[in-house]
Amino acid sequence: EELLNSESDEPPITVVDEPVQAHLGNRSTTTHIKSLLDDWEEPVNKQDKMADPTIQDILMFRKASTFLEDTHPFGSSFGPAFTRDSCIKSSKSLYKRLLSLSPGSPVLPFDVIGVLAYNMDGTFDAKKARSLVRLFRPDKFDEVSLVHFVQSCDGLYKKIRYLRASIGNSSQIDNVLESIFNGVFGFLLALIVMSILEL
């Protein structure tokens, strides 16, 4: 009972003086603390924006789709890659051609591939170099074996084929939905015409 009486004697929470209330004035704690922090803005996340595609985006997408259907997706210098087997054969052929640029070496030095990291003006592109390292994965001797070279090309070819299949499957789903919508629209249109003609 004494405990209940002591609790009832305490002032309500709204009456208790906040220790920083005199310092803050009429501003809230959050507002004041935010004013003491460094100014910065929330970064823009493009995934949060579902903007309608422009005509240029649609044309670029169609161009990329036709690129996926090409029998030489990696370029004429690489060779044909319309199937996985043809991609592997072209990879082996390209590896031998690159190996000829380093006579006397049984394994391809990564420096031969690393030349691609240089721009036309002779400047070194570090981002492109990192991409080449991630793609071809040279060993501790800075060399790329035939198996690793073919494996890298095969992995990239796999991504292209999966992307192509995903686009094709999405197109089929869109066609099915469009046909269903057209059927429902035609049925409703026929009902409206019949009701007008009082048939």
Residue 98's pLDDT is 92
Percent of the chain with pLDDT over 90: 17
Between residues 110 and 27, which one has the greater pLDDT? 110
CA distances to 1, 19, 26, 149 from 22, rounded to whole Å, are 36, 7, 9, 70
* DSSP bridge partners of 57: none
* DSSP bridge partners of 3: none
Q: Which range in 26-40, 50-64, 68-82, 91-105 is most confidently predicted, on average pLDDT?
A: 91-105
CA separation for the pair 117, 127 (Å, rounded): 8
Q: Please state the φ and ψ torsions of residue 130, each to the nearest 5 degrees.
A: -65, -35
CA distances to 103, 188, 193 from 196, rounded to whole Å, are 85, 12, 5
| Rg of the chain (C-alpha set) | 33
Between residues 11 and 35, which one has the greater pLDDT? 35
Residue 199's pLDDT is 61
Q: Please state the φ and ψ torsions of residue 145, each to the nearest 5 degrees.
A: -75, 165
CA separation for the pair 148, 143 (Å, rounded): 10
What's the whole-model pTM score?
0.57
Between residues 31 and 149, which one has the greater pLDDT? 149
Tens digits of per-residue pLDDT, 152-182? Answer: 999 999 988 888 888 877 767 767 777 787 7
Taking the mean position of all CA atoms in its chain, how far away is CA 132?
A: 18
Residue 49's pLDDT is 57
Mean pLDDT of 25-48: 66
Residue 44's pLDDT is 66
Tens digits of per-residue pLDDT, 73-115? Answer: 888 889 998 889 999 999 999 999 999 988 888 999 999 998 8
**Whether the predicted pLDDT of 134 surpasses 50:** yes
Contact 79, 90 (CB under 8 A): yes
